[in-house]
Amino acid sequence: MSSLSTVSLGKLETVSKNTPGPKIKSLKAYVVGSKELEEKSGGCGDYHAQQKGHWIVDSMISNPMSSYPEYKKSRTSWGIGAMGTVIAEVELDNGLKGVGLSIGGEPACFIIEKHLSIFVEGQDPNNIELIWDQMFKASMNYGRKGLTIQAISVVDLALWDVLGKLRNEPVYNLLGGKTKERIPVYATTSRPDYAKKLGFVGAKVPLPYGPADGDEGMRMNIEFIAKCRESVGNDFPLMVDCYMSLNVRYTIELACKLEKYGIKWLEECLIPDDYDGWTEIRAKAPSTILFTTGEHEYTRYGFKKLLDTKGVDLLQPDVTWCGGITECRKIYNLASSYNIPVIPHGSSVYSYHLQFANVNCPMAEFLIMSPNADEIVPLFGKTFKDEPLPKNGYIELSNKPGFGVELNYEELNLKRPYTHSIIEKTKF
């Protein structure tokens, strides 16, 4: 047995030495040319970066800052879009390029250019797992969640994109191939009636008020959901996004009062670190309503804590934030072992490829980014020339290599705020 192994390994080594493949020549990080351009381009990677008059900007949406009156009416008032878009570009020494997208702006650019590039440049682009592990472990002293993981995510996505182009395969084929030909899509929107007319299979609406609004706020929440239900009828799936703004007691009361309206799920009711709260909610709230979260969770370690609470019925990682494809596929596998489905938060084409390649993904999310929520436009605005859009409530993907989208360099007037010298690494 050992001799066969040795022979096999020897052959592999010979092939590797005789047919060296391309290496990663450079890693660069960009931001959109200006904040004004980012807003005019539809937000790009940061979909909150919208112009005044957009429903995301002007709607009353309960959020973690709702208890402060001066920041109550608009999420943009407290700087939710302060970081902005970050775009990573990986180029091989044969000229092929891959791009990734996330939020993090100039701070993420600094991390990518000044630190993460060490583990990327000069590498074999096939070694994505190795690169991810080195980026994560090297940044552990200042990272593990938030901005640092978003920076790792955008690099990881660029690597998968260029690897697909190198192999002339769509990313979903690199992940094991299709498990379905199309994915049903629900809409996140302020107008569920429009979403139904546009052909979506369900709609999710933002909760307007939170605990700081007292009994009157609770009453207005119920009235709002009642009107939403009336606008779409009894058979159209309706979900509610609570955006980290509630507490355990309020969530249980809200769930009990909403049960008669046939709400499919309540999403992200608690702040991300209140893991134990989900256990209590699931024990006391109606079993007919699902509880979902994960949009603001990071890496497999955070998601394992969520799953261990036994209080979450569905996971919603954002592929562009939680660690990229490399980490998110581990989250999918982890969820599968708990028999928990995964419906990623937004992230458009990046999440679609993972969903096509995984069985436990029943539906996709699509954020309605038109100002009045009345038409389908690209989630990432003008970032890509060819972002796939849902048709008649379903999303399909082409067999183009990589993620199958082309970056709109000219439109975005990309700026590279930091640069670095190519690092000569010791070969070993």
What one-character-per-residue DSSP string does 185-226 give?
EEEE-S-HHHHHHTT-S-EEEE----GGGHHHHHHHHHHHHH
Please name which of 338, 314, 218 lies closest in space to residue 266, comparing C-alpha atoms: 314
Please name which of 130, 111, 104 lies closest in space to residue 119, comparing C-alpha atoms: 130
* Lookup result for tokens 């650019």: 109
> Phi and psi for 416 in degrees, rounded to 5?
-105, 100
| CA separation, residue 32 to residues 378, 393, 396, 409 (Å) | 17, 31, 28, 9
The pair of structure tokens assigned to 369 is: 């980014």
Catalytic residue numbers read 345
The C-alpha atoms of residue 46 and residue 51 are separated, in whole angstroms, by 12
Helices 348-357 and 324-337 pack at an angle, to 10 degrees, of 40
The C-alpha atoms of residue 363 and residue 384 are separated, in whole angstroms, by 23
Helices 128-138 and 147-167 pack at an angle, to 10 degrees, of 170
Helices 214-232 and 248-258 pack at an angle, to 10 degrees, of 40
Determine how β-strand 394-395 pairs with β-strand 364-367. unpaired
Beta bridge partners of 183: 395
**Quick count: other Cβ atoms within 10 Å of Cβ 127?**
16
The C-alpha atoms of residue 80 and residue 75 are separated, in whole angstroms, by 6
> Residue 238 CA to chain centroid, in angstroms?
21
